[in-house]
Structure 1
């Protein structure tokens, strides 16, 4: 008997809906899976993941939630795959650097903003919706702790709709790094950079756009100019009446940072630790805000994708 050991395949697999949209030239919006596996508590995570996809469809685009199942990168997880990543234990959190090793080991994994951006661009998808970006961490001058989201966006031509960077980070330093890296940042109907849970982080923006069509025009201009560049961040703030109470936010953040120092939490564990603290300390109010953020961003991303396709 001859046993043939077939090598595993590492190419990208497309869900049926996304494959049809790519073939027909219909607008597609990339979505991350880390928010499903690591960013939201069970069982809310699966329900919200489906609502995010529905928000994209409601805007006229096709959702492409990206993740890894059994070592295969999937652009456009079907409902069974999405359910698996939402409910299974041991799902890895995958940044760009983790993708090849996770594939070789046949892992299940959820893609971060950096990994989702890179995979989406490789798949020819130009618009991506997320909640908040990673950035420069507090005390980075000592720890050099900076999210791979920033350097990935510096070399990845994709529009990312977000509510700014997570307010647990050093927002000012993050904006400085984005400028240095050549990443364009525009406010959607605002000249102030949003602070994720809160509407205004306290920092000004150089550029503001008023419509999805203007964003689509900027993406088209970048292509036609032929100048090599990276991502376009569309900062979409929550309305003031939907934000987390700023005073509650500031108290919760201060307490969370003190707990980080006390418990020695560092690296990848910082963000989930602080988000869990916000959820507990605000009695779920931060979770409700987080959900509003991603749903609004998904809807806007869908409108941008439709405008760009037109």
Structure 2
């Protein structure tokens, strides 16, 4: 069954569409890959690399936080307020979730008390405490070692969307997020794989857009009482776990060198020096030297986003790449 969520942008809220990211959202949504890994083939390398670490976690509780339809409780995917959110802050906020919210959100995901997973039964305060502890251990074992790389991809997506919105307008930006998202007049329409249907205004709250590595289509709160939020699939997720060593055009490599030619080739979308070092298999210090030289020569542009500097091929770089191919 396909549901429909509609967010009505009114007045000044047309300018209040904001981008943010959430470590907690990513952690919660990643539990879908445990239950149905075949639906998330891009994340299989990460699942394989973390198999040993996951074996020592509270798997019974973590698996209980999704259902067969791959829903997660809304309190585990709070609306992020900034691209700079920190997991420790979000975990502390999770521990303070009102118990009635925890109880109601868990009932949305597992509505039949008779079949509710055992870890979610009993006193709600104890359930919340166990959820918090399980997620904290999961973060430390399976996310923290990879988060810098994940964040780079998410931040690069935000920069790309911001530029697209400034260049092509709000409607074009929304249509590129997901096939199930459209802006019709001043209403953002989101098709969802649940029976949820509601329409609500974003007046006074705005609409937050958050890229995710663990959703294949648009994900939104299943309750109209939750703040307006759309999670969408981030660009670049397909290259997240791969080493990218493309063959540079020989003429271009002879002119600027092999590494710089490969950098020009891959920088058709924003990336940080850390991500580029992993993708190309060279040291971060070497990549930084090449990036600075290429930027000074006008072949790249750069912009700071949060704690990262993201690089992108410039118009001159495009021309050089075409000429050297």
**Per chain length, whose mean CA-contact separation is higher, i.e. which structure has more relative contact order (CA < 8 Å, sep 6+)?**
2
Structures share fold, TM-score greater than 0.5: no
User: Rg bigger for which structure?
Assistant: 2
TM-score, normalised to structure 1's length? 0.25
